[in-house]
């Protein structure tokens, strides 16, 4: 198969895929030369360039320059933190992407609670229990870290499974999380992730288990897969539209995080931050009216709490990018989105 992609940039100017590569400097190269050059590149890299070319070809004039500048800013931020940072962002309208170490595996902290939430709703939909079923809060359930349930009396309170799910997400309650993990089973969470094509997202231990973490039993994902999970929920592709909407409504409930700190006040976002020593993560959908997008940012080997300020800056950069994309005409002037044809 030969790939030759033409894009029109300015009147009278056409370029062939690979224009910036000295080995492909002319659109008149013989096809066998194009093929020989293409075979020297990793196939995934070729596909990535093609997908970007197709997504940007529908964007305003010279928009690829803005895209490249924005991606360079993201790489700069990732390069300036002391640890290792991964970033993924997805335009939920066009499929345009940004990626910095997006396929690298990171520990997830409390962000892994999103797959747990999904499994709770899956098993409730299958009739294994009802979301309004009550559960006692007992001593054996309680663990430290974030949350309020550890402060309650032993066997003095009952909460519904749905209430436990809300506490797991909004207060990041570790006791509620462990109760739900015990309810649905780790292996079932992982099986569901695999069924969605998410082979790197794994729940391997309960919350607040340093011994398990020390043995390498860590809860894991990648920026790419985290964004894919948020996309699946946004598009209603997990079970059904109603279930996805209910999950997203829980994720929209107010909480603090690095990404939402970089957004304008009152801009809706569905998100979950996570943090354990040395690690900060956050998965989000930002409901920018003109251009909703999904984003995940992760850092490992973090020092001095630097990730939150980096996430805030990343969030601001991405918001500015997608706002411009949603409000610009093809020639770069800003008008009311409803007027853009």
Q: What is the pLDDT of residues 205-250, one digit of tens each?
A: 999 888 888 888 899 999 999 999 999 999 999 999 999 999 999 9
Q: Which two tokens stand for residue 239?
A: 């079970």
Could you tell me which residues come within 8 angstroms of residue 55 by beta carbon, excluding any fewer than 6 positions away? 91, 94, 95, 96, 97
> What CATH number has the domain spanning 109-217?
3.40.710.10
Helical ranges in 31-126 per DSSP H: 31-39, 43-57, 63-80, 113-125
**Domains 61-104+222-341 and 109-217 belong to one CATH topology:** yes
**Long-range Cβ pairs for the range 152-158 (8 Å, 24+):** 158/134
Contacts of 98 (CB under 8 A, 6+ apart): 70, 71, 74, 87, 88, 89, 318
The C-alpha angle 146, 147, 149, rounded to 5 degrees, equals: 140
Residues 6+ apart with CB under 8 A from 84: 101, 104, 299, 300, 301
Residue 9 has pLDDT above 50, yes or no: no
Q: Which one has a higher pLDDT value, 18 or 177?
A: 177
What's the mean per-residue pLDDT of the chain?
Answer: 85
Give the tens place of pLDDT for each residue, 103-116. 999 999 999 999 99
Q: Tell me: the pLDDT tens digits for 55-86?
A: 544 455 688 899 999 999 999 999 999 999 99
Give mean pLDDT, residues 253-280. Answer: 93
pLDDT, average across residues 193-216: 92
Residue 300 backbone phi and psi in degrees, to 5:
-120, 160
Residue 199: pLDDT band (50, 70, 90) is very high
Q: Note whether 90 and 227 are within 8 A (CB).
A: yes
Per-residue confidence (pLDDT) for residue 21, from 0 to 100: 42
Distance CA 233, CA 214 (A): 32
Q: DSSP characters for 280-318?
A: EEEEEEE--TTS-EEEEEEEES--TTHHHHHHHHHHHHH
CA–CA gap between residue 329 and residue 283 (Å, rounded): 30
The domain 61-104+222-341 having CATH identifier 3.40.50.2300: the answer here is: no
pLDDT value at 24 more than 90: no
Domain edges within the chain: 6-57, 61-104+222-341, 109-217
Percent of the chain topping pLDDT 90: 66
Q: What is the pLDDT of residue 5?
A: 39
No. of helices (H) and no. of strands (E), the chain: 12, 11
- Residue 202's alpha-carbon distances to 191, 217, 271, in angstroms, are 9, 10, 19
């Amino acid at each position: 198969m030969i790939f030759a992609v033409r894009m029109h940039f300015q009147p009278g100017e056409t370029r062939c895929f690979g224009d910036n590569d000295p080995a492909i400097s002319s659109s008149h190269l013989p096809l066998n030369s194009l093929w020989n050059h293409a075979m020297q590149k990793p196939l995934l890299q070729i596909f990535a360039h093609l997908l970007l070319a197709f997504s940007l070809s529908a964007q305003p004039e010279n928009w690829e320059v803005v895209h490249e500048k924005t991606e360079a800013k993201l790489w700069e931020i990732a390069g300036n933190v002391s640890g290792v940072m991964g970033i993924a962002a997805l335009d939920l309208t066009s499929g345009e992407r940004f990626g910095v170490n997006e396929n690298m595996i990171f520990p997830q902290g409390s962000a892994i609670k999103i797959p747990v939430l999904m499994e709770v709703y899956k098993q409730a939909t299958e009739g294994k229990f009802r979301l309004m079923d009550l559960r006692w809060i007992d001593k054996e359930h309680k663990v430290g870290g974030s949350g309020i349930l550890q402060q309650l009396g032993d066997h003095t309170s009952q909460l519904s499974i749905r209430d436990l799910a809300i506490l797991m997400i909004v207060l990041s309650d570790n006791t509620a999380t462990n109760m739900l993990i015990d309810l649905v089973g780790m292996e079932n969470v992982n099986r569901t992730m695999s069924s969605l094509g998410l082979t790197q997202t794994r729940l391997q231990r309960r919350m607040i288990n340093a011994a398990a973490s020390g043995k390498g039993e860590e809860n894991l994902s990648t920026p790419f897969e985290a964004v894919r999970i948020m996309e699946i929920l946004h598009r209603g592709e997990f079970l059904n539209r109603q279930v996805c909407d209910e999950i997203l409504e829980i994720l929209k409930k107010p909480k603090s995080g690095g990404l939402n700190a970089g957004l304008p006040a009152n801009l809706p976002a569905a998100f979950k931050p996570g943090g354990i020593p040395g690690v900060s993560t956050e998965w989000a959908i930002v409901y920018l009216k003109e251009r909703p997008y999904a984003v995940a940012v992760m850092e490992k080997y973090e020092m001095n709490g630097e990730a939150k300020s980096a996430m805030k800056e990343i969030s601001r950069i991405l918001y500015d990018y997608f706002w411009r994309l949603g409000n610009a005409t093809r020639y770069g002037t800003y008008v009311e989105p409803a007027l853009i044809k």
